[in-house]
Amino acid sequence: MYRNRMPLEELALDLLFEAFGEHRYNRTPEEYQHLASLIPPLKQASYLVNQGLKKLNEQGEQRSFCRFKPGDLKPRYEPFPKKISIETLRKALINAGFRDAKWRKKT
């Protein structure tokens, strides 16, 4: 099932690939495979994302992102978080196609 990535998930992906000095847009399929191979295990990736977020927050600029959805009457701006969870990063990687979803046992 397709769903749009949330702004926080987009931020997490941008910070992850920025840690490697890479950008994730306008690439060939082989380059996307190379990007997927750069991604470390989830805990290490989460550490890299949170270090990048910490650097952004230390710069002193007030940064925020917009959570505008269809049907909203006005945009909502939220400040950048202090930390991004492993689950948010996992969802971002799955929805962007850089990680396969693990199946769950049906009960």
Whether residue 47 lies inside any domain: the answer is yes
Q: Range of 56's domain?
A: 7-96
The CA distance from 12 to 8, in Å, is 6
- Output b/e per residue, 89-103; b: 16+ Cβ within 10 A: bbbbbebbebbeeee
The CA distance from 57 to 95, in Å, is 26
Whole-angstrom distance between the N-terminal and C-terminal Cα of the chain? 21
Whether residue 56 lies inside any domain: the answer is yes
Whether residue 105 lies inside any domain: the answer is no
For the segment 51-95, what is each residue's pLDDT rounded down to a tens digit? 999 998 888 777 888 878 788 899 888 888 899 999 999 999 999
Whether residue 102 lies inside any domain: the answer is no
Model-level pTM? 0.84
Q: Number of structural domains, the chain?
A: 1
